[in-house]
Amino acid sequence: MAKVTPAIQKADNCEVAAIASRDLGKAREAADKLGIAKAYGSYEELFADPDIDAIYNPLPNHLHVPMTLAATRAGKHVLCEKPIAITAREAEELRQVPEGRLVMEAFMIRFHPQWQRAREIIRSGELGDVRAITATFSYFNNDAGNVRNQADIGGGGILDIGCYPVTTGRFLFESEPQRVVSLVEHDPVFGTDRLASAIMDFDQGRRLTFTCSTQLVPHQRVLVQGTRGKLEILIPYNAPADERTAITIDTGAPIDGSLARREILPACDQYTEQARAFAAAVLGETPLPYGVEDAIASMKVLDAIFRSEKSERWEAV
C-alpha cells in the first residue's frame, strides 16, 4: 500500500478520497500523511460512504474475497490485490459480484510498457516460435510477524510471488497451461512454502519454468526463448517507477552476444498505469482489461501447483 496509494493519487482520472483501517488512529495517521480527506475506523464505514465509487483492497490474502464481496454488495467497484483468493474455489465466489460492479486483480505488470513491448515482439514473430520461458523471483523475509510468513492467512511464496511467473506465462503465451508439476520446500517454523519450483506445460511444445522464494537473495529475471531468438526482461516485476527499464533481444547473435540489441523503455509507475486503466473502465470509457474469470483461471494454476507438491506428479489445471 505504501507504493500503490501514492501511485493511484498520480493518476489523472483518480482521486483517493478516503482510507479505512480497523484502527481509526492508524487510518487517520495514514490519511494525514498522504493528504487524504477522510479516514474511517472500519471497512464497513468506508463501503457505506456514498461518495466512494471504487475500493482498492490490499488486505491480507484471506480477506481478499470476503471484503471484495462486501464492497461490491455495497455498490463499489474493487481493485483487489493479488492473489485474488487463497484457492480457486474461493475465487469462484466472486461470480456472485452484483451485475454492473467491476472487479480486477491487481497485476500491475500487465500495464508496464516493458511487458507490452515484450508481448508485441513475441507477436511479431521476431523470436520465431516461442517455446520456453524461464522466470525467477525471490526476496528474503524471515520475520515471523509478517503476513507473508503466516500460513493460516495465505502466506508463503507461491501465493505471494509465484503468481507473477504464472501471470508471465499466461500473458506472454496468451493461453492457459494444461498441466503443472512442482517441487516445494516449507519453512519448518512458519509452515509456509519458502522455496518452490514448477514447470507449466502450455501444450504445443511450450513451457514455463519458474523458481520463487521468500528466503533467498532478492532477484528477478524473465527469459523468453524462441526458435529464432531470445528476449530478456531485466527487472520484470518490481520495475522502479522513476527509472527507465530495459529489455534485450538477441536473434541469432554469436556466443559473445555482440549482435544483441537493448531497447530502453521510458520511466513508468506501473501502479499508476494500473489505476488509470481500472478507473477508465469504472468511468465507462474503456472495457475492463480483465476480470473475475481471469483471476479464477490464475488461481486454478496455483491450486495445481499445490496439488502437485502433494502428489509428486503432473497435475491437470
Look at domain 109-269+292-316 and name its CATH class. alpha beta
pLDDT band for position 258 (cuts 50, 70, 90): low
Q: What pLDDT score was predicted for residue 1?
A: 59
Q: What pLDDT score was predicted for residue 71?
A: 98
4-107 shares its CATH topology with 109-269+292-316? no
Annotated active-site residue 26? The verdict is no
Distance, in Å, from the CA atom of 41 to the CA atom of 25, rounded to the nearest integer, reads 8
Q: What is the mean pLDDT of residues 45-69?
A: 97
The DSSP result for the chain, as a single string, is -TTHHHHHHHSTT----EEE-SSHHHHHHHHHHHT-SEEESSHHHHHH-TT--EEEE-S-GGGHHHHHHHHHHTT-EEEEESSS-SSHHHHGGGGGSPTT--EEEE-GGGGSHHHHHHHHHHHHTTT-SEEEEEEEEEEE---TTSGGG-GGGT-SHIIIIIHHHHHHHHHHH-S--SEEEEEEEE-TTT-SEEEEEEEEE-STT-EEEEEEESEEEEEEEEEEEESS-EEEESS-SS--TTS-EEEEEESS--TT-TT-EEEEEPP--HHHHHHHHHHHHHTTSS--SS-HHHHHHHHHHHHHHHHHHHHSS-EE-
Indicate whether 252 pLDDT > 80. no
Q: What pLDDT score was predicted for residue 229?
A: 95
State pLDDT tens for residues 265-298.
999 999 999 999 999 999 999 999 999 999 999 9
Q: What pLDDT score was predicted for residue 149?
A: 97
Q: What is the mean pLDDT of residues 50-77?
A: 98
State pLDDT tens for residues 155-209.
999 999 999 999 999 999 999 999 999 999 999 999 999 999 999 999 999 999 9
pLDDT band for position 139 (cuts 50, 70, 90): very high
pTM: 0.95
Question: What is the CATH superfamily name and number for domain 4-107?
Answer: NAD(P)-binding Rossmann-like Domain (3.40.50.720)
The share of the chain scoring above pLDDT 90, in percent, equals: 96
Distance, in Å, from the CA atom of 10 to the CA atom of 282, rounded to the nearest integer, reads 17
Cell 531468438 found at: 229
Q: What pLDDT score was predicted for residue 232?
A: 98
pLDDT band for position 3 (cuts 50, 70, 90): confident
Q: What pLDDT score was predicted for residue 207?
A: 98
State pLDDT tens for residues 91-131.
999 999 999 999 999 999 999 999 999 999 999 999 999 99
Instruction: Write down the catalytic residue from 82, 230, 300, 310.
Output: 82
Q: What pLDDT score was predicted for residue 256?
A: 53
Q: What pLDDT score was predicted for residue 164?
A: 98
Q: What pLDDT score was predicted for residue 108?
A: 98
pLDDT band for position 78 (cuts 50, 70, 90): very high
State pLDDT tens for residues 229-242.
999 999 999 999 99
Q: What pLDDT score was predicted for residue 259?
A: 67
State pLDDT tens for residues 9-35.
999 999 999 999 999 999 999 999 999
Indicate whether 257 pLDDT > 80. no
Q: What pLDDT score was predicted for residue 260?
A: 81
Q: Enumerate the domain spans of the chain.
A: 4-107, 109-269+292-316
Residue 161: C-alpha distances to residues 145, 164, 168, 193, 194 (Å) = 18, 6, 11, 11, 11
Q: What pLDDT score was predicted for residue 242?
A: 94
